[in-house]
Structure 1
Amino acid sequence: MTHALPFSRPYPGWFTPFARTLLERTWRGRHNLIPLSLALGTILLSPSLAQAPRLTTPEEVARVEVIRRAMPAVVKISGIVRDPQTGNEGPTNGSGFFYSSNRIITNYHVVQDLRDISVELFDGRSFPGTVFAVDKGIDIAILSIQGATAPAQLTFGSSQNLPTGMGLVVIGSPFGQRNLASYGILSGVGPTTAQKNDLDPEIGSEIGDLLFTDARIMQGNSGGPVLDLQGRVVGVANSILGDISGIGGIGVAIPGDLVKQSVQDLERFGVPQRGGLRATLVDLTDLDPLLLGKVGLLSTKGAMVEKVEPGGPAAQAGLRPAQRDQRGKLIGLGDIILAVNGKAMRNAGEITQTLARFRPGDKVKLTIWRNGRNLEVTVTMMARR
């Protein structure tokens, strides 16, 4: 016979999930190995109960528990980097987190050109780190740590179909201060219209949709985990739209599914396995509109094939590159890519991001414009490099 608990759900906010399950099982008499008195004692000794006067809602309890469990897996990454604009060298830092016993996920831009890499653990101990593999296209890198084992590890949850308004926790080392957390909501999911990295526009160029959050992501948070209220990684903190201090800005994160797939590929192959043309594309908006008009192109949607890598998918499919004279002046248009699998493309970035969703060996149909008419071309994807 199943007996009702002495209180009805929802449970008091200070109950930990473990304590709730323990009390349920003991009260119902279905698991009698632990007496009720011991169950109640476990609950009363729970760390969460010590904070009970301050935790008034289930959301607060969940948030505190997620931060408590995840914090030991998050690290501060430090090193020396040279400023490409001034030439001066100085210290810099970012964040990361353990996903295995000795490997850490962070942003590529955190470790780009970084030397003397140091990984500082939750308890303050520091160990040398080395770059194991990188995925520049989605701004992700894997570090191996030497001489230490992860005190905790984080696992990925799905970043598909996340509802706007759900709670998100961000943990990292903003401005070099390790072990700090912030909390907010998922503000939205989609592409960004912000300008790409001027110093290296290829960084993050293969990311399509991004996660946006009002949780504070500040300088130094880059590479840290973005967690749901079950403690699963749904994103990796990447950048800020707006004020670099985070005040009045919006946080940007790389979707966890994209990162998880990349990490699996890097572990297995050492390089990313997203599809690409192995060709250089140029937005039509960057070309002389008078030239486009002369050849009958009235729309600026799409992208021109500027260069084609020998032996790559574009070359094998017969895509034609642009022709330029010795001074670099355009004297002949390359093929114009208008659509991918029937979906119209706006620019080179959208084409790159769309193709990156395919895997090596996948066949993709491109609609191109050549010599005044549209053609269909089938391209077999190869991994980008």
Structure 2
Amino acid sequence: MYKTMKSPLFLPLMGGVTLFSLGVTTTLTLVSRESSALESTPVRLTSTSTAASPNWPAPVATTAGGDAFVHAAAASVDAVVHVQTASLVSDQSNPWLSMLGMAGGRIAQGSGSGVLIDEAGVIVTNHHVIQGAREVRVNTSDGESHVARVVGSDPSTDLAVLAIEADRPLPVMTMGNSDKVQVGEWVLAVGNPLNLTSTVTAGIVSAKGRNIRLLEADASREVFPVESFLQTDAAVNPGNSGGALVNLEGQLIGINTAIASQTGSYAGYSFAIPSSIVAKVVKDIREFGRVQRAYMGIQVQSREPGVVVASTSPGGGAREAGIEGGDRILAINGIDVGSFPSLQEQLSKHRPGDEVRVKMQRGQTRRDVVVTLTNRHGAPTLNPMSSNTKSPNAAPQMKQLEAAWGVALIPIPDRIRENLQLRGGVMVTDLRNGAWAQQGIRKGFIVLRIDGSPVTGLQDVERAVARAAHGNEEGLLIEGMYPDGSRGFAGVAVPDVKP
């Protein structure tokens, strides 16, 4: 999947993500992969430099290093999965479907990677890999294919959590500590680039705490994106998104996300989300259905090197701890923070209410203070679930949904199910003046999928609505057929009901 913005205006465009450099134009590309039908040429500026592009040498391993690579690959490759998505692309060329309120379009296929982190089938991948997908399937290293459920995602860190059901414990990858990663350290990138499954490449960590402004394209995002990427020269290509960056112990130290390129393919540098951020985001999504983001309550001077406080928020943890404008933040819990991205990375590991030890400098004096972190509203408490951010497990009652939609649904009768050779579904038996009738759905319609997830019974309808409400989505894509075999799909609003 490619996304483009032109720095410094941050305008979202289709293509790649274009950054400016001193002499060449660099395209920053999210490294999942969609079908060529969706891909467009990345937007670039014509370079005024006549310098040729450098030829990046492939890493050469020593004998000892080669043995370490073999060990790391063997410990990690089975835990990396192939994520395949299907997305509905609207077709503006059919006005009749639009007039009837029916969604028209075509299905675009996409692919990326993911990492198994729980033997029960929990997977972490990139948000952009599954964004907008109507169906997500996961292929494990043994060749088995599973329908995946999106547990939750966080656009501000570009992470998502999936779940699959398997009849056996699945191989998992051990979470490593990205805080201990050093520049120059050997790493492996494991993923499915260009649909080449279970591919392993090697490189070194070339920088830490890199802010590439990749996640600032969405101006509507309510929270500031967290960017503190590990930069490596391990070869990463489209399809690697969501795959693993591992150390020589075979531990997960990052999720591969983007490449800097002039061509849309690997050209020397790739970027991964550190495992310190990954572990916290995954834990929050699984426990709360959303990320519990913590704040110090400071504004930072953007033109100063390091982390220099411009001002503090009234009632925020920093002001309460005695931090003032002009102070320089040096470390959080003993870990140096030499830039705003590295400060973000350390804070992103915590929740509101946590206390952190902050090393600061005022003039020539250095001292430690304890700061109690808060939520966005300045309170040291966890963010409650609002009506628009319900837990994925909190499903509204079916009667409430039927009343809100103006529809009556029943499990598909056995006779019809057998005649149509269906595994499941729910049938519309009555319609009143509501969203479904307004979209042209008639009695007898059999709902087979909602937002790409199979519907086998009424409980699947409830879960789909709960997931949509949790994700702040405004609509659901209803897909199905009539008993005569004709098929149809329509978009309906997410009903405002409480579990």
Q: Scaled by the length of structure 1, what TM-score is found?
A: 0.60
The answer as to 2:84 corresponding to 1:78 is: yes
Please, what is the CA RMSD of the aligned residues?
A: 4.3
Give SS of 1:99's match: strand
> Is 1:93 aligned to residue 111 of structure 2?
yes
- Which of 44, 64, 67 is the matching residue for 1:58? 64
Partners of 1:187 and 1:84 lie apart in 2 by 41
Percent identical = 25
In the other structure, the counterpart of 2:236 is 217
Which of 141, 155, 159 is the aligned partner of 2:178? Answer: 159
Question: Which secondary structure state, in structure 1, belongs to the residue aligned with residue 285 of structure 2?
Answer: helix
Shift of 1:193: 3.9
- Residues 363 and 381 in structure 1, CA contact (< 8 A), matched pair in contact too: no
Provide the residue aligned with 1:170 in structure 2.
189
After superposition, what is the alpha-carbon deviation per residue over 1:309-354, rounded to whole angstroms, capped at 9, x for unaligned?
xxxxx7976xxxxxxxxxxxxxxxxxxxx95975499999899767
What's the CA shift string for 1:217-255, capped at 9, x where partnerless? 211101111111110111111111224644324110011
* Matched residue, 1:297: none
Between the aligned partners of 2:106 and 2:297, the Cα distance in structure 1 is 35
Alignment of 1:102-121 (within 5 A): 102-121=121-140
Q: Structure 2-normalised TM-score? A: 0.47
Whether 1:184 and 2:203 are equivalent positions in the alignment is: yes
- Partners of 1:195 and 1:180 in 2: how far apart? 25
C-alpha distance in 1, partners of 2:88/2:338?
A: 36
Residue number in structure 2 paired with 1:129: 148
Per the TM alignment, residue 380 of structure 1 is displaced from its structure 2 partner at its CA by 5.7
Gaps of 5+ in 2: 1-60, 93-104, 317-323, 331-336, 359-370, 376-381, 384-388, 390-499
Q: For residues 169 and 346 of structure 1, do their structure 2 counterparts lie closer, same or farther at Cα, with a shift above 3 Å needed?
A: closer
Measure the CA separation in 2 of the matches of 1:198 and 1:185: 29
C-alpha contact (below 8 Å) 1:127/1:148 kept by paired residues = no
The letter for the 2-side match of 1:224 is G
Which consecutive unaligned segments of at least 5 residues does structure 1 have? 1-54, 286-300, 306-313, 318-337, 366-377
CA displacement at 1:214 relative to structure 2: 0.4
Counterpart in the other structure of 2:429: none
Structure 2 counterparts to residues 176-255 of structure 1, below 5 A: 176-199=195-218, 202=221, 205-243=224-262, 245-255=264-274
CA distance in 2, matches of 1:90, 1:303: 47
Q: 2:164 aligns with which of 135, 145, 156?
A: 145
Change in 2 beyond 3 A, CA 1:352/1:98 = closer
Shift of 1:190: 2.0
Q: Counting helix residues as a fraction of each chain, which structure ranks higher?
A: 1
Distance 1:243 1:200, change over 3 A: farther
How far apart in 2 are the matches of 1:73 and 1:165? 25
Q: 1 CA distance for matches of 2:74 and 2:372?
A: 49
In 2, the alpha carbon distance for the partners of 1:105 and 1:210 equals 17
Secondary structure of 1:275's counterpart equals coil
Per the alignment, in what secondary structure is the counterpart of residue 278 of structure 2?
Answer: helix
CA distance in 1, matches of 2:196, 2:186: 23
Question: Aligned-pair distance for 1:196?
Answer: 3.8
- Supply the distance in 2 between the matched residues of 1:175 and 1:184 (Cα, whole angstroms): 19
Superposed CA offset, 1:142-183 (max 9, x none):
111024545411011111132211111111111222111111
What is the distance in 1 between the residues matched to 2:180 and 2:221?
27
Distance 1:114 1:359 in 2: 30
Asked if the contact 1:171/1:180 (under 8 Å) is kept, the reply is yes
Distance 2:264 2:201 in 1: 13
Q: Does 1:68 align with 2:68?
A: no
Cα drift, residue 93 of structure 1: 0.7
Deviations 1:21-45 (A, max 9, x none): xxxxxxxxxxxxxxxxxxxxxxxxx
Q: Is the 8 A contact 2:174 2:251 kept in 1?
A: yes
In 2: Cα distance, 1:58 partner to 1:203 partner: 48
Give 1:360's aligned residue.
352
Corresponding residue number in structure 2 for 1:261? 280
